[in-house]
Amino acid sequence: MDIELVKFMFILTVMSLYLNFAITLYGVVAKVNLVKKLIALTILQDTVNVFTVLIGYRLWRPGLILQPPALTDMNPTPEIIKDFVERSVDPLPQAFVLTAIVIGLAVTLFLTTIVLHVNYHFKTVNVDEIGGMKRRYIHEEAV
Binding mask 112-131 for another protein (x = CB under 8 A): xxxxxxxxxxx--xx-xxx-
CA distances (Å), origin 10, targets 4, 13, 15, 20, 102:
10, 5, 9, 15, 27
| Number of residues counted as binding another protein (CB under 8 A) | 116
Closest CA to 97 of 27, 47, 35, 36: 47
Shortest Å distance, C-beta 31 to another protein: 7
Shortest Å distance, C-beta 96 to another protein: 6
Instruction: State the number of CA atoms in the 13 A half-sphere of 32 facing the CB.
Output: 8
Q: Is 84 in the site for another protein (CB under 8 A)?
A: yes
Please identify which residue in 35, 79, 135, 136 interacts with another protein, judged by CB under 8 A. Answer: 35
